[in-house]
Amino acid sequence: MTSSEPRADRFTRELAVLKIPDPAAGRAGLWLRLGIALMVLGLLLGAAAYFLSHNTSDALVQRDALALGLSGVTSSVVGSALFLRYSLTGFLRFWMLRQSYDIALLADRLFEKDIQNEFSSTDSAPR
């Protein structure tokens, strides 16, 4: 405690400036589902645009179909980005946990081996 300010007062002061995120921002699952929905919507819009343009020779309707198709592409791209962002985060988190667990396990094994070696090298009793 280097400061002369009482800890409780410092705690109060530090908390006063603490930024608390909107709980809605943490709803990764919701964003992930939205991403999937947008990708599916993109495919549906593309298919709808295809049938719309092929069932008519009217250039105006075909332009509408073109706009619909482009909306489908946009929806798919945005959906894919959202899906990748939130699924990758989950995967990387899991991967990091797995790495951390494996390294801890390896360290334990090496440590045990070290202790065994130490005991066997100092033991002068005949075997």
**Sites for another protein among residues 14-43 (CB under 8 A):** 14-16, 18-23, 26
- Answer for which of 10, 27, 85, 98 binds another protein (CB under 8 A) is 10
- Answer for which of 30, 40, 88, 107 binds another protein (CB under 8 A) is 107
Tell whether the torsion through CA atoms of 86, 89, 90 and 91 is positive or negative.
Answer: positive
Grouping H, G, I as helix, E, B as strand and the rest as coil, residue 19 is: coil
Distance, CA of 14 to CA of 28 (rounded, Å): 28
Q: Which stretch binds another protein (CB under 8 A): 8-16, 68-76, 79-87, 88-96?
A: 8-16
Task: Identify the helix (H) or strand (E) that includes residue 57.
Answer: none
Grouping H, G, I as helix, E, B as strand and the rest as coil, residue 46 is: helix
> Considering the rule CB under 8 A, would residue 119 count as an interface residue with another protein?
no
Site for another protein, rule CB under 8 A: 1-2, 6-8, 10-12, 14-16, 18-23, 26, 104, 107-108, 111
